[in-house]
């Protein structure tokens, strides 16, 4: 008989480790593509900065909105079936991202090589074929967002749940780090075609994850199989009327709006400001590297502190990260020979950002999992990602506007001098996000004080 996780205080079940392994594969696939998605949309399909940012934001936002519903459905059909559906869709979607440019090239709309040469694609409706392809990935990914984190909740106890989520978050970041390492070496070898071929790598990873689930995921735990849609609807209403969770989501959205700039602003910003030799994939990898190295230590450090206290510390770090990123355009001669100040200060800002994430994200998931009634873990953990929907829509939307205003695409200018004049204040972008981070940090501090006061009064009455 399979050992129940309720009887496990230190170790973890096989299903726990399989869940974390397939999360590793999925994150490798996702981040390999997502780190250059806005560049793919612009350099491969011919969308401008604002269009690319809005498409990426809606894609990322949908990826985090749909778990509210797919999480509830996963509670109904069980985690194993849901994982099989998810990884099947993801595999088809990533293959589609690789195949679509080949179809467009065959239609005579574009020629791909070290550099892309458009022959009508930016003015063609054919480029919008990307929308259904991204939608398939969005649906598949939305299942994963709720299933894996909910599976961790089901396969852990109160005694080891914080450590379980620490391991889960470490695996997420190992996957993110590994996925992002692929694009820069590939870009050095084959130029802009790398943005096409990276999708085949991602498809391979999700196929491996699919096989792992089919062959190895044998958990006896399913979440609420047999629930009626009415019962699911009632559970959903319980979530959306929980004012604490809704307010917390809105506050944490500010943090993630800053985090989203690793993908919305940073890749284009560093290539335009530091030159074509800049390596946005490696720069972005600073985040998961720091998280992997520090998340377990931070979790142990904050073990005796409440989840809200840990999140508060992280929230006050995030405005400083954005201010450090702005400094790259303000310093004079390069501080480190062979490394531009843009790159150096971007790395410094991302280090602080990653430390903030160590304090916030694992404890945020823990907080939500503890609010979930038995059998509704998928729904609640799906709902916990609503902050990423909001931060994607607003974060990417703002990024598109700010890039257009302060750091526009050099190809739009006749001379280098004209572009330099237009991008003199490119660092202003980061001031906006520093302000967003500071407002969010202050809001969480107020939230913590108010909720603690309410809880004390309730205990006093009892």
Query: Rounded to the nearest 5 degrees, what angle is found at the Cα of 319, between the Cα atoms of 316 and 321?
Result: 110
* The pLDDT of residue 191: 86
Token duo for residue 248: 């917390």
Q: Which helix or strand (DSSP H or E) is residue 272 part of? A: helix 266-274
Q: Lowest-pLDDT range, 89-93, 212-216, 424-428?
A: 212-216
Residue 41 has pLDDT above 50, yes or no: yes
The overall average pLDDT reported for the chain is 85
* Lowest-pLDDT choice from 44-53, 239-248, 280-289: 239-248
**Local structure of residue 3 (DSSP, 8 states):** P
Residue 414 buriedness (CB in 10 A; 0-12 / 13-18 / 19+):
exposed
**Beta-strand pair 117-118/110-111:** antiparallel
Residue pointed to by tokens 């350099």: 43
Angle, helices 49-65/130-154, rounded to nearest 10 degrees: 40
Among 3.40.50.150, 1.20.1250.20, 3.30.379.10, 3.90.1150.10, name the CATH number for the domain at 241-461. 1.20.1250.20
Burial class (CB in 10 A: 0-12, 13-18, 19+), 108: exposed
Among 151, 165, 145, CA closest to 15: 151
Tokens of 55: 């498409």
Say yes or no to pLDDT of 378 above 70. Answer: no
d(CA 426, CA 416): 15
Q: How far is residue 52's CA from residue 409's CA, in Å, rounded to a whole number?
A: 12
Q: Taking the C-alpha atoms of 58, 113, 267 and 295 in order, what is their torsion angle to the nearest 10 degrees?
A: 90
Give dist(CA 144, CA 90) in Å, integer. Answer: 10
The owner of tokens 């990423």 is 388
Strand partners, 110: 118
Nearest to 42 by CA among 247, 195, 207: 195
- The answer to which of 115-119, 179-183, 371-375, 403-407 has the lowest mean pLDDT is 371-375
Element (H, E) at 111: strand 110-111
Paired with 111 in beta bridges are: 117
**Whole-prediction pTM value?**
0.75
Determine contact, residues 223/78, Cβ cutoff 8 Å. yes
Q: Which residues have a Cβ under 8 Å from the Cβ of 315 and sit 6 or more positions away?
A: 251, 254, 255, 356, 360, 437, 440, 441, 444, 445
Assign a CATH topology to domain 13-216.
Growth Hormone; Chain: A; (1.20.1250)
- pLDDT band at 85; cut points 50, 70, 90: very high
In terms of pLDDT, which residue wins out, 254 or 170?
254
Give the number of C-alpha atoms closer than 13 A to the C-alpha of residue 433, restricted to the C-beta side.
Answer: 38
> Looking at 52-66, 148-162, 264-278, which range is the least confident one?
148-162
pLDDT score at 9: 40
- Residue 254: the pLDDT is 92
**Cβ atoms 19, 223 nearer than 8 A:** no
Identical topology for domains 13-216 and 241-461: yes
Mean pLDDT of 281-305: 86
Residue boundaries of the structural domains of the chain:
13-216, 241-461
The three-state (H, E, C) secondary structure of 304-365, written as one string: CCCHHHHHHHHHHHHHHHHHHHHHCCCCCCCCECCECHHHHHHHHHHHHHHHHHHHHHHHHH
The residues that bridge with 339 in the sheet, in sequence order, are: 336
pLDDT value, residue 99? 96
Backbone angles phi, psi at 426, to 5 degrees: -60, -30
Distance separating alpha carbons of residues 209 and 21, to the nearest angstrom: 8
pLDDT at 406 over 90: yes
Q: Are 165 and 22 in contact (CB under 8 A)?
A: no
Judged by DSSP in three states, 86 sits in helix
Rounded to 5°, angle at Cα 85 from 83 and 90: 90
**Hey, what are 355's tokens?**
């430390």
pLDDT at 142: 87
Where is average pLDDT lowest: 114-123, 230-239, 321-330? 230-239
pLDDT band, residue 386 (cuts 50/70/90): confident
Per the model's pLDDT, the better-predicted residue between 228 and 52 turns out to be 52
Residue with tokens 């679509």: 100
Interatomic CA distance for residues 400 and 113, integer angstroms: 27
- 93-107, 140-154, 199-213: least confident range: 140-154
**CB distance 120 to 83 below 8 Å:** no
Q: What tens digit of pLDDT does each residue of 138-179 get?
A: 999 988 877 887 777 777 777 777 778 778 878 887 888 888
As a whole number, mean pLDDT of residues 229-253 equals 77
> 238: pLDDT confidence band, cut at 50, 70 and 90?
confident
Helix (H, G, I), strand (E, B) or coil at 204: helix
The percent of residues above 70 in pLDDT, for the chain, comes to 91
User: How does pLDDT run across 331-356, given as a tens digit for each residue?
Assistant: 877 788 778 999 999 999 999 999 99
pLDDT at 5 (0 to 100): 40
Using pLDDT thresholds of 50, 70 and 90, give the confidence band for residue 7: very low
pLDDT band of residue 8 (cuts 50, 70, 90) is very low
Residues in the chain: 462
CA distance 156 to 160: 6
Does residue 96 carry a pLDDT above 90?
yes
**Residue 64 CB partners (closer than 8 Å, separation 6+):** 142, 145, 385, 386, 387, 388, 389, 392
In whole angstroms, give the CA distance from residue 215 to residue 44: 37
Please, what's the b/e burial string for 214-250 (b: 16 or more CB within 10 A of its CB; e: otherwise)?
A: eeebebebbbbeebeeebbeebbebbeeeeebebbbe
**Average pLDDT in the 391-395 region?**
90
């Amino acid at each position: 008989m399979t050992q129940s996780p309720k009887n496990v205080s230190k170790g973890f079940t096989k299903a726990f480790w399989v869940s974390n392994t397939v999360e590793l594969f999925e994150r490798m696939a996702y981040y390999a593509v997502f780190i250059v998605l806005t560049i793919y949309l612009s350099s491969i399909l011919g969308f401008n900065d604002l269009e690319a940012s809005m498409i990426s934001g809606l894609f990322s936002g949908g990826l985090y909105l749909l778990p509210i519903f797919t999480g509830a459905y996963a509670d109904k059909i069980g985690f194993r079936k849901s994982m099989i559906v998810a990884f099947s869709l993801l595999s088809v979607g990533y293959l589609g991202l690789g195949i679509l440019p080949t179809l467009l090239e065959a239609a005579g709309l574009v020629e791909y090589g070290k550099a892309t040469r458009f022959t009508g694609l930016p003015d063609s409706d054919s480029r919008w074929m990307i929308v259904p392809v991204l939608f398939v990935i969005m649906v598949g990914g939305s299942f994963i967002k709720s299933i894996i984190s909910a599976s961790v909740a089901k396969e852990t106890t109160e005694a080891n749940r914080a450590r379980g989520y620490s391991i889960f978050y470490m695996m997420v970041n190992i996957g993110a780090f590994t996925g992002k390492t692929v694009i820069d070496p590939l870009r050095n070898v084959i130029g802009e075609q790398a943005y096409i071929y990276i999708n085949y790598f991602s498809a391979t990873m999700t196929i491996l994850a699919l096989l792992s689930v089919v062959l190895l995921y044998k958990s006896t735990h399913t979440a609420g199989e047999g629930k009626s849609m009415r019962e699911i609807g009632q559970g959903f209403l319980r979530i959306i009327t929980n004012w604490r969770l809704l307010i917390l989501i809105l506050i944490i959205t500010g943090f993630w709006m800053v985090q989203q700039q690793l993908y919305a602003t940073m890749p284009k910003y560093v290539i335009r400001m530091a030159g074509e030799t800049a390596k946005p994939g490696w720069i972005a990898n600073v985040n998961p590297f720091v998280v992997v190295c520090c998340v377990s230590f931070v979790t142990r450090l904050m073990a005796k502190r409440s989840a809200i206290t840990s999140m508060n510390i992280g929230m006050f770090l995030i405005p400083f990260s954005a201010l450090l990123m702005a400094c790259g355009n303000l310093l004079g001669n390069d501080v480190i020979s062979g490394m531009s100040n843009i790159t150096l200060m971007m790395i410094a800002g991302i280090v602080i950002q990653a430390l903030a994430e160590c304090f916030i994200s694992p404890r945020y998931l823990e907080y939500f999992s503890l609010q979930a009634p038995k059998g509704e873990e998928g729904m609640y953990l799906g709902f916990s990602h609503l902050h990423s929907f909001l931060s994607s829509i607003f974060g990417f939307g703002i990024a598109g506007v700010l890039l257009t205003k302060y750091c526009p695409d050099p190809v739009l200018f006749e001379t280098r001098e004209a572009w330099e004049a237009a991008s003199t204040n490119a660092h202003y972008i980061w001031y906006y996000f520093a302000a967003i981070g500071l407002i969010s940090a202050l809001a969480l501090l107020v939230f913590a004080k108010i909720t603690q006061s309410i809880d004390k009064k309730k205990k006093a009455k009892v």
